[in-house]
A and B are shown apart, each in its own frame.
Chain A
Amino acid sequence: MRLSIVPEEFTLVLYDADLVRSTVEEVAAAVGFPDSVEVSLEVDEELAQPLTGSYVDVRDGVLHLWYSGGNVEDTLRARHLDPVRARREFAMGLLRGMDRLDPAFHDAPADDELTDAQRALWDVAAEGRAERAGIAMRPDRARYVYRLACGFTDEADAEYDRLRGGAPTSWADLAATAQRLAPNATTPRTGRRDDLRRRR
């Protein structure tokens, strides 16, 4: 796998770029990420816990992963990398990237155009696959994020279990699920969050 990391050296945080690289490579092998695909990973070291966020997009055949530095930060030691969190985050990103490389997902909107529900559903499916690939996940965390987006309802919980147990076959499947949940979500939200990557 050709992997480029931005920044090459971290200056605001005490993250080791070599450790980031080896973690991505290890996780890529675990989830079966294709060697032939070029990956560009950016960890935005200006952003800290709990200001988390991530984006996964494919442009010109290159997988672009963007993470807030907070996503991989140790919550007990500010500015230090948490390797366990990093494994989880990178696994999710690579798995969603693999989906995006699949023609069945080519019509998926860019990450910053997904609704909360679409993104949450996709994340749940990726989490389930990551767990089956041997990556230690936090289903309790995922369920809460999912419920915030898709509703605190029995129907939404059933969908969570279904998606966690098996991947969506296509973007159309995933979008239809989000659409199905929307009317019955406790607080259906179609709007998008602020994009943490954008500067004023």
Chain B
Amino acid sequence: MKRFLPVDELARDERFVRTSIVAGFNDPRNGRATERAISSARLEPGRAAAPDRARALMHGIFVGEIQALEGAGRTTFDFDDADAPFALKLDMARQCWDEARHVEISVKLGEHMGTEIGEYTESTFLYEAACVPDPAMRLSGVNRALEGLAIDVFNTMKEFGDASGDPVLHFCEDWMLADEVTHVKMGSDWLRRLTEQDPDRRARALEFQRTVDKLFSLGGFRGETEENPVQIARRFRELAGFDTDEIDEIAALAAEALADARSREAVAG
């Protein structure tokens, strides 16, 4: 079996259609929706287009879970025991089990919400972030940044289910959220252990985490204002081991990402 599998060799059937994040940046409609009198971009049942926005996000969660499974799976295999201790690989194997279950749950939730596999495109940048050659960076970029984002997304969906009285969505998201808290904590613990004697490596890993955190704030997708569909879940991030300064930093990165998007839109006219 091949180590460090490139993204274009991921196994997908004909239902999956890939899209690139760059194509989205060039859409001439970008930013025009902000000219509309929309009171809040938060993903809540009473907001404009809530059902379709929730459905699209659920499909994004589904493909994200597949890639998270693939990323954790690669970490169990890509490294020698000297680079990644067996106990770390065991934790990653356990995470694979969780992610596989999340994929199944997300498929069922998609059906529950009236969508189907392949209704929306798949962007593979989650897996690409999971392909860095240093296991410490994978832990910071995937377990702390991306699984941290999953905490925010799942909490948003859990609240959506709660507000709409949807017991299925609420219950499923709550369970998956609990797993994500564990994944983040696992990443934090292993990052500390792997970089205990190497502060430079730890600094590089945390810098990579910041890059991923900003990238995945996706021009305002996640944040703490009315302009952000997904809200930062401070309480659950604390449970996962983030301290207040770290959460404040993520909020600042998210605000930067939104400001960058607005600048791009202004330049594009």
Contact = CB atoms under 8 A, between A and B. Distances in A.
| B contact face: mostly helix, strand, loop, or mixed | loop
Given A152-B166, A152-B167, A200-B36, A189 B46 contact: yes
B192 interface: no
A2 interface: no
Interface string A175-200: 00000000001110101011111111
B45 A189 contact: yes
Interface stretch (A31-39, A56-64, A92-100, A135-143): A135-143
| A contact face: mostly helix, strand, loop, or mixed | loop
Contacts of A187: 45, 163-165
B165 A151 contact: yes
Nearest to B121: A76
B49 A53 contact: yes
Contact of A148 (B19, B45, B115): B45
A143 B114 contact: yes
A80 B145 CA distance: 34
B173 to A, nearest CB: 15
A152 B165 contact: yes
Most buried by B among A51, A79, A191: A51
Contacts of A196: 36, 38, 48-49
Interface string A136-179: 00101111110110011000000000000000000000000000
23 contacts: A47-B29, A48-B33, A50-B53, A51-B53, A52-B49, A52-B52, A69-B29, A78-B24, A78-B27, A79-B29, A140-B115, A144-B112, A147-B166, A148-B50, A151-B165, A152-B166, A187-B163, A187-B164, A194-B37, A199-B35, A199-B36, A200-B35, A200-B37
Interface of A: 12-13, 45-53, 68-70, 75-76, 78-79, 116, 138, 140-145, 147-148, 151-152, 185-187, 189, 191, 193-200
Interface of B: 17, 19, 23-24, 27-29, 32-33, 35-39, 45-53, 55-56, 111-115, 118-121, 163-168
